[in-house]
Amino acid sequence: MEDTFNLIEYKNGYSASDETVQFLYCEQQYMVDEIVALDEKLVTARHAIKKHLIDQHGGPLLGLLSQTKEQLGVTQTQKDILVLFA
């Protein structure tokens, strides 16, 4: 996984290439054209990744804020305030 992401990827909580969709906050990834069994339904990889993002990370913003303050480049006080708005 690459170390730098663009603003759209941070907003989405995942990075997508022509072949894979990869989370920014965990190692979960899917092939773009993959069909996944999820909650007794067959869904696209993009749908599964969005559901995982909400269910496991609380959404893109909370996933981002779960990173360390050093990774975010903010103080602990700034991070605490941002979490209040998430």
pTM for the whole thing? 0.73
Question: pLDDT-derived band of residue 3, with 50, 70 and 90 as boundaries?
Answer: low
pLDDT of residue 1: 46
Q: CB-hemisphere CA count at 13 Å for 64?
A: 20
Distance CA 29, CA 20 (A): 7
Q: Which amino acid does the sequence have at 41?
A: K
pLDDT of residue 63: 87
**What does the pLDDT look like over 20-75, one tens digit per residue?**
998 988 999 999 999 999 989 999 988 898 899 999 999 988 888 888 889 888 99
